[in-house]
Amino acid sequence: MKLLRYGAPGAERPGMIDAQGRIRDLSGHVDDISGANIDPARLRDIAEIDPSTLPLVEGDPRLGPCVAGTGKFICIGLNYSDHAAETGAEVPKEPIIFMKASSAICGPNDPIIIPRGSQKTDWEVELAVIIGKRAKYVTEAEAMDHVAGYAVTNDVSERAFQIERSGQWTKGKSCDNFGQIGPWLVTRDEIADPQNLSMWLTVNGETMQNGSSATMVFGVAHLVSYLSQFMSLHPGDVISTGTPPGVGLGLKPPRFLKPGDVVELGIEGLGQQRQDVVADG
C-alpha cells in the first residue's frame, strides 16, 4: 500500500493511493496515518479495504509528511561508502547517530527554507524507514518485523551550522523545512529489497546524486537492531539512513542552494519530491 496525508499544514487527512495513482480518502476508517495506525495488525486491516469504495480526492492537494506525530527523527551519518569517500571521511566502524528536530518535518513538496545567515544549505536524498511496532533490544533477524514501511526524505543540511559552529550536527540539520518526508509511506511488503533501490536528486534539472541503497555501509535491519540497543523505537519514529554521493559539500568547488533553485528527488518504488528553494523571511 501507499499511504499518505493531504491537506493544509496541521489539518491533513489520511489517504491511500489507488491502482490508477489517484488519492482516496481514508478518514472514514482511520483518523490519521500515525504511529497508532501503522502497527502490523492495523495495516492488515487497512489493506483489506477496497480503494474503489473510498471517496476520490479531486484536484491536486498539498501533501503533508506521510506519517504524523513522529517522536524521534533519527539520522545516520556517513552511511554510504561512496559518500564517505567524497567527503574525505573514513567509513565508520559503527553507525554515526544524530537527531534531527521533529519541527523540521514537512511535506514532500513544501519549500526548502534557507535559514537566516545561511551560506551553505545542502541537499541529501535519503531512504527513510518508518517504525510500525515498538522495538527494544531486537535482533537483526527480528528487526524488519518492526518496520511499517519506507519513504523518501531530503535530509537538508546547513553545512556551516553543522560543521563550523562547534558542537554536534543537530543545529545544521534541524532548521524549519529541513525534513521533507513522502510523498507516501510505502508498506514494507511492497519493497522486496530495501538494499537495492536506485535514488537520485537534481538541482535545476542537473543531476547531482545518482546512487543506490546497495552502497549502504549498515543496512536497514542492522540499523533498526542497533538503534534498539540504545533507545526504544516507537511507532511513527523515522530513521533517515544516509545519502549517496553528490551532495553540494562534496563538489569541487562546493555548491550550495540559493533562493530560486528547484530541487527534485526520488527513490525507486517510493515516489518523488519537488521543492522550491526560498529565503526565510
CA distances from 90 to 83, 84, 86 (A): 10, 6, 10
The predicted structure's pLDDT at residue 90:
80
Whole-number pLDDT of residue 266:
98
- pLDDT for position 174: 96
Q: Tens of pLDDT along 143-152?
A: 999 999 999 9
213 occurs within a structural domain: yes
**What does the pLDDT read at residue 85?**
74
48-64 confidence digits (pLDDT tens): 999 999 999 999 999 99
Task: Give the whole-angstrom CA distance, residue 34 versus residue 266.
Answer: 23
Domain-embedded: residue 37: no
Q: What percent of the chain has pLDDT over 90?
A: 91
Q: The whole model's pTM is what?
A: 0.95
15 belongs to a structural domain = no
Q: Which domain holds residue 88?
A: 68-279
Percentage of the chain lying above the pLDDT 70 cut: 100
pLDDT at 89: 72
For residue 84, pLDDT beyond 80:
no
Instruction: Kindly report, residue by residue over 181-220, the tens digit of the pLDDT.
Output: 999 999 999 999 999 999 999 999 999 999 999 999 999 9
Does residue 22 form part of some domain?
Answer: no
Is 176 part of any domain? Answer: yes
210 within a domain of the structure (yes/no): yes
| CATH code where residue 109 lies | 3.90.850.10
CA distances from 181 to 129, 163, 216, 254 (A): 10, 24, 20, 26
| Least confident among 42-56, 85-99, 136-150, 240-254 | 85-99
Mean pLDDT of the chain: 95
> Could you please report the per-residue DSSP string of 97-118?
EEE--GGGEE-TTSPEEEPTT-
pLDDT over threshold 90, residue 88 = no
Please answer whether residues 119 and 172 qualify as being in contact, where contact means their C-beta atoms are separated by less than 8 angstroms.
Answer: no
For residue 252, is it within any domain? yes
* pLDDT exceeds cutoff 80 at 281: no
Give mean pLDDT, residues 93-118: 96
The number of distinct structural domains making up the chain is: 1
Q: Does position 87 have pLDDT exceeding 80, yes or no? A: no
Q: What's the average model confidence in pLDDT over 132-147? A: 98
Q: What is the pLDDT of residues 149-169, one digit of tens each?
A: 999 999 999 999 998 888 788
pLDDT of residue 101: 97
pLDDT over 90 at 263, yes or no? yes
Whether 78 is in a domain gets the answer yes
* Burial class of 240 by CB neighbour count within 10 A (0 to 12, 13 to 18, 19+): buried
pLDDT for 83 beyond 90: no
| pLDDT for position 164 | 87
